[in-house]
Amino acid sequence: MRQDYWAKKAKLKGFRSRAVFKIMEIDQKVDLFKNVKSILDIGSSPGGWSEYASKKCPNKNIFAIDLLEMEPVDNVSFFKADIKNIDQIKAVNDKKGTFDLVISDLAPNITGIGAVDNESILELNMLTLEIAVNLSKTQSKFLVKTFQNNNFKYFRSFMEKKFSLVQNFKPLASKNRSSEIYLYGEN
């Protein structure tokens, strides 16, 4: 498979994946890590976002969760678990109400059947939003990957009920043909 520009650049710079450039660009626009002390990375593997968060916020509390393994990242506590069972992770639940920032580059396994994939995406987005709201401080930030599909406006409307500011981002590192889009919310 031919690597694209962003994948090559990630490899050249020693990043785990091209995804780091997506969070980097969004961070430059909204100052994502400003005044952040505690971070939760949902769907963290292979760890690019956790690695970037660790560099931006050294000596802060960073927790990461994913079904897939993730190579260790300095200053990040990783839990191999399903986010549906996040309430069973004691270390994360002990921090309930303290997270300043929840980030998620999570996506379901795509089947190629539009209706099924759209519902899977919405289900994961809603679960991630619920986790963010339940575990975060009142004044918090949330960044989530979603997709431009028939559920996008529906999901965005739920975010607008939970956050005073909601913005869309389509980073340059997103593949042109991809319908992925990032929603950022803050209070």
Candidates 9, 13, 96, 145; catalytic one: 145
Q: What is the 3-state secondary structure (H, E, C) of the chain?
A: CCCCHHHHHHHHHCCCCCHHHHHHHHHHHHCCCCCCCEEEEECCCCCHHHHHHHHHCCCCEEEEEECCCCCCCCCEEEEECCHHHHHHCHHHHCCCCCEEEEEECCCCCCCCCHHHHHHHHHHHHHHHHHHHHHHEEEEEEEEEEEECCCCHHHHHHHHHHHCCEEEEECCCCCCCCCCEEEEEEEC
Q: Are 123 and 162 in contact (CB under 8 A)?
A: no
**Cα distance between residue 141 and residue 92, in whole Å:** 17
Catalytic annotation present for 145 = yes
Q: Are 27 and 90 in contact (CB under 8 A)?
A: no
Give Cα 114 to chain centroid, integer Å: 23
Residues involved in catalysis: 145
